[in-house]
Chain A
Amino acid sequence: MMGTIWFWIVGAMLTAYVVLDGFDIGVGALHLLLARTEDEKRLVLRSIGPVWDGNEVWLIAGGGTLYFAFPLVYAASFSGFYLPLMIVLWLLILRGLSIELRGHIGMGVWRAFFDGLFALSSVLLAVFYGAALANVIRGVPLEADSYFFLPLWTNWRVGPSPGILDWYTVTGGVLALIALAVHGAAYLAVKTIGDLQQRARRTISVLWIPLIAITALSLIATMAIRPQTLDNYKAFPIAFLIPAGVIASLIALLLFSRRGNDRRAFTASCVYLALMMIGAAAGLYPALLPSIIDPKDDLTIARSITGHHAQAVGLAWWTFGIALAIMYFVIIYRMFRGKVDLESEGY
């Protein structure tokens, strides 16, 4: 029972990461296209400046919580996804630097370099995150000792010896890139005015059809390569509200954005991403990392949950700690609410 709670806690923290860091990654992926002048570039950076670092903490805290609650899953997945995780780390390093160091030297070459690095690292991070999630859904070739090691690619096919990248996980990567780009555009529309805001809104309109198409494609592909995903949905038909909500939130996103109601459009985008994550978790449950070879090797909650005392104490401090964290986020987002300008302190 408590294992189930921890499953959803880890899921919720990673969902919070995707929704929060998702918009600043999306902003990074788009900013070369949307921000044309130096002032616009600084506005774009200022829109995420005070919050991106805190958003990224959800990844660290989520990873730490996974380590704490499911040590076996943490150990197996982090060593098995060794190469892509290292690449993600390098991208996170380069991206953090490009945001923070750009403003330190007033040279055109310096700034252009970090602008490019910011865009490139954001695009690749989105693709890698999508592919990572798709790898978990597809399953990995777990060995008898519950470890595995995946090369970056093999024959690009979903089979018994897959690579990190195959057609399915690449689809997941492209989906993540488009979804986060739309999410970032929706955020920018909230935070800016004038030309920048118009371009952000137009981006949502342009990317909306591809987004809905690839969302549908990925859902069908998931059912094709891993039919067990539907088991929980069949057992609890109420879960079909999740995909229904995905479609509804996408429609709401477009309608609100067209009417210029940017805050609601951004909310719809948050709901869309959260439901995609929850839907994936619901399909996996009770496995955290399924085996592509034999379902009895799946790393499930029961096999990988930590000891009783840790679970019980953990629930107490986690609840308290996250309540504090949410309070900090409310303070910060309230403090820096509204449209960004070049008058006040910032990048």
Chain B
Amino acid sequence: MDALLLHRIHFGFTITFHYIFPQLTMGLALLIVVLKTIAWRRNDEMYNQAARFWAKIFGINFVMGVVTGIPMEFQFGTNWSHFSRVTGGVIGQPLAMEGVFSFFLESAFLGLFLFGEKRLSASAHWASAVMVWLGSWISGFFIIVTDAWMQHPVAYRMGQNGTFEITSFWKLLTNPWALLQYPHNMCATVITGAFVMSAVGAFYLLERRNEEFGRIFLKVGVIAGVISCIVIIFPTGDLHGKYVAKTQPASMAAMEGLFHTEKGAGIVLMGQPNEEKQTLDNPLVVNNVLSFLIYGTTSAEVTGLDKFPKDQWPAPLPLLYYGYHIMAGLGTYFVVVMGLAAFLLWRGKLYTTRWILWPLMLSFPLPYIATTAGWMTAEIGRQPWVVYQLMRTSEGYSHHVSASNALFTLLGFAGLYTVLGILFVVLIYREIAHGPAHMKKFEEGLHTVSGA
């Protein structure tokens, strides 16, 4: 088997599985801060209890995120050694900073947040929740800075032996790509958190259990959800899309399935790109909209793939196209569902309207799919480069690690992560079935409850 492909799958598979967990913990960390803030300001024990329940869900996700995250830090070196050697002078910086500034903060204060409620005052416990939230969002920022440099290299020069050196620390951290992608990505984490919280709330109401908690979860989840669902499209997604069109026109053409340069290009709602014939099969297109979205006028010319040599087309092209369309399509659905739910919440009917509770309960997997599809859009869109227009992906992998060894460890991870996934589902199911109402009170401690 092809070593390059195996190393790509190795990283792609492990990062995709890993990111299931941080996308929830980052979003949920913010929602837990919201619950803790309401509990503290209003002195409302219900909200504290709700925060304790979500802290348990958070804790399980956090453990899974930690144990699947360690391999990510290692895999730059193990599977992508030449990439690491050439770019370490630049992206070593944000990756090291993530460890020093974020992981210490997160691990220390999570310990305090989970085990310290009894020993801390209400305000100190609230502060530890805020620190966990900050730690997780700082971590996200450094990873985005790393990825942004691969997408849109800035502040570098050639150093010794063909390696890159950083020239400006500040410009690296304020890479325009990072500043656009970060809010877009963090909105996505809040959407995941909001849909998960709303789904549990809707489940409790439909099941007529823990209804007082179900209402809290729905209220917080739907309000956070509707805000983040709008902000992720406008302005963050809109601005980010325009920037991709400007800096990576070939990726944009591939995302839209635009084989030929067009004035007044239309947006493709559906259709399957046909690479051989360079057309779209079964197209459903709205004329002029793509030109308008990118350039603000319906007659603007949008560059198609025909303007680029074939060896610079992102590959696999159909996966990029589908990834983008799945993300955008689900994003539209999220606005509709959360918008309707928010309207019903405002009218005071949400908790009794079963036709909206059902989709809220069932939709929780969709943000995970949308987020994964969005990241596939970003990372396949960068191909065939590992560092855009500076280093090809085919140069970056560990040439001394044979395809057979890469396959061996890929199978190892596949097996281990299957077990992890099963354990995760079982434990989360138990927590939700157990419910927030039966959690032990403040004095009796938090972490022992389901082990009791």
Contact = CB atoms under 8 A, between A and B. Distances in A.
B8 to A, nearest CB: 15
**Max count, chain A CB within 10 A of own CB: residue among B101, B107, B112:** B107
B77 A61 contact: no
Interface stretch (A98-106, A128-136, A163-171): A98-106
B332 interface: no
B104 A57 contact: yes
A79 B76 CA distance: 9
A307 B159 contact: yes
B355 interface: no
Interface in A115-159: 143, 147-149
B41 interface: no
Contact of A68 (B86, B96, B399): B96
B100 A325 contact: yes
A69 B166 CA distance: 12
Contact of B400 (A53, A70, A79, A101): A79
Contacts of B448: 103, 345-347
Interface stretch (B61-69, B176-184, B215-223, B256-264): B61-69
A67 interface: yes
Contacts of B400: 79-80, 143, 147-149
A332 B108 contact: yes
Interface stretch (A89-97, A175-183, A281-289): A89-97
A86 B165 contact: no
A335 B386 CA distance: 45
Interface residues of A, number: 72
Contacts of A318: 96, 100
Interface stretch (A187-195, A266-274, A308-316): A308-316
A260 interface: no
Contacts of B12: none
Contact of B100 (A61, A74, A79, A308): A61
Interface in A61-86: 61-65, 67-72, 74-80, 82-83, 85-86
Interface stretch (B115-123, B279-287, B339-347): B115-123
A306 interface: yes
Contacts of B101: 317, 321, 324
A33 interface: no
A344 B120 CA distance: 12
B427 interface: yes
Given A67-B95, A72-B85, A97 B67 contact: yes
A67 B99 CA distance: 12
Contacts of A96: 63, 66-67
Nearest to A330: B108
A53 B59 CA distance: 12
B110 interface: yes
A279 interface: no
B412 A54 contact: no
A79 B77 contact: yes
A68 B163 CA distance: 13
Contact of A101 (B111, B167, B401, B427): B427
B105 interface: yes
B423 interface: yes
Given A63-B73, A67-B84, A79 B447 contact: no
Contacts of A106: 451-452
B153 interface: no
Given A74-B88, A75-B82, A97-B63, A307 B166 contact: yes
A243 interface: no
Taking chain B's interface residues, is the majority helix, strand, or loop, or is none over half, making it mixed?
Answer: helix
B108 to A, nearest CB: 4
A332 B96 CA distance: 23
B111 A53 contact: yes
Contact of A50 (B70, B85, B115, B398): B115
A16 B327 CA distance: 43
A64 B100 contact: yes
Interface in A291-347: 306-310, 313-314, 317-318, 321-322, 324-325, 328-329, 331-332, 335-336, 344-347
A96 B64 CA distance: 9
B420 A97 contact: yes
Given A57-B103, A71-B92, A317 B97 contact: yes
A61 B115 CA distance: 24
Contacts of A324: 101, 104-105
B416 interface: yes
B445 A54 contact: no
Contacts of A77: 77
B165 A309 contact: yes
Contacts of B450: 103-105
Contacts of A60: 70, 73, 99, 103
B102 to A, nearest CB: 9
Given A96-B67, A101-B63, A335-B116, A309 B166 contact: yes
Given A71-B85, A307-B166, A324-B104, A345 B405 contact: no
Nearest to B97: A317
A230 interface: no
11 contacts: A50-B115, A53-B111, A61-B104, A74-B84, A78-B74, A82-B78, A147-B81, A317-B100, A317-B101, A318-B96, A345-B116
Interface of B: 59-60, 63, 66-68, 70-71, 73-74, 76-79, 81-82, 84-90, 92-93, 95-101, 103-105, 107-112, 114-119, 159, 163, 165-169, 398-402, 405, 409, 412, 416, 420, 423, 427, 430, 445-448, 450-452
